[in-house]
Amino acid sequence: DWRTLQIVHRLEPGIDTVYLTVRSRNYDNLDGGTWTAGLLLRDFPSVAHMIKSAGGTIWSPAFQNLNADDVKKAQQLGLKVIPWTVNDPADIDRLIDWGVDGIISDYPDRAREVMHKRGIALPAAVGKH
């Protein structure tokens, strides 16, 4: 709920905040303004513009709702883009190609494998090896 994030901004403006978005057949948190603290997508050129206007620093969309142009435009606005629930290695690979700033996955081992194959520096592993 973006209203909570706006309270955080008022109390501590320097804290980075992550704005989650999802648009699917069954659920759309950008529709109607309830989830978005009254902001309406129709009043902005893009989701990224709406998040920037709300004070966000990180956009975390459902990865299915994202394309390369969205990533580029959001980053031009100064937002980091970190899509969520990216579990298929092909999707992870494609999102890395698009230049996302991070990836949230239920299977971090898959993300690590894609990163390793691409020669991307890996952080130290945690848990079982």
Domain ranges of the chain: 2-118
Name the amino acid, one letter, at 100: V
pLDDT digits (tens, 9 = 90+) for 37-96: 999 999 999 999 999 999 999 999 999 999 999 999 999 999 999 999 999 999 999 999
The residues pairing with 19 across neighbouring beta strands, listed in sequence order, are 59
| pTM of the predicted structure, to 2 decimals | 0.93
Query: 129 pLDDT band (50/70/90 cuts)?
Result: low
In terms of CATH architecture, what is 2-118?
Alpha-Beta Barrel (3.20)
Average pLDDT of the chain to the nearest whole number = 95
Structure tokens at 49: 């513009």
The predicted model gives 21-43 an average pLDDT of 93
pLDDT at 3 over 90: yes
Q: List, in order, residues 6 or more apart from 114 with CB less than 8 Å away.
A: 89, 92, 93, 96
